[in-house]
Copies of this chain bind each other. A is one copy, B any other.
Amino acid sequence: MTIRVTIWNENVHETTEPEIAEIYPDGIHGAIGEGIRGMLGDAIDVRFATLDAPDNGLPEEVLETTDVLIWWSHIAQERVPDDLVERIHDRVLRGMGIIALHSATKSKIFRRLMGTSCCVRWRHGHDRELVWTIKPDHPIAAGVPEVFAIPQQEMFGEFFDVPDPDELVFLSTFSGGEVLRSGLCYRRGYGRVFFFSPGDQSYPVYFNEHVRRVIANAVEWAAPRSGVRPTPYLSRNSPEGWLDAELEGTRA
Interface residues of A (CB under 8 A from B): 93, 95, 106, 112-117, 119-125, 128, 130, 132-137, 139, 142, 145-151, 155, 157-161, 163-164, 166-168, 171-173, 175-179, 181, 186-192, 204, 207-211, 224-226, 232-240, 242-243, 246-247, 250-252
Contacts and interface: CB of A to CB of B under 8 A. Distances in A.
A187 B209 contact: no
B114 A115 contact: yes
A125 B164 CA distance: 33
A106 B246 CA distance: 25
Given A139-B225, A238-B155, A240-B123, A149 B251 contact: yes
B210 A121 contact: no
**What's the number of copies of this chain in the assembled complex?**
4
B233 A142 contact: no
A151 B121 CA distance: 23
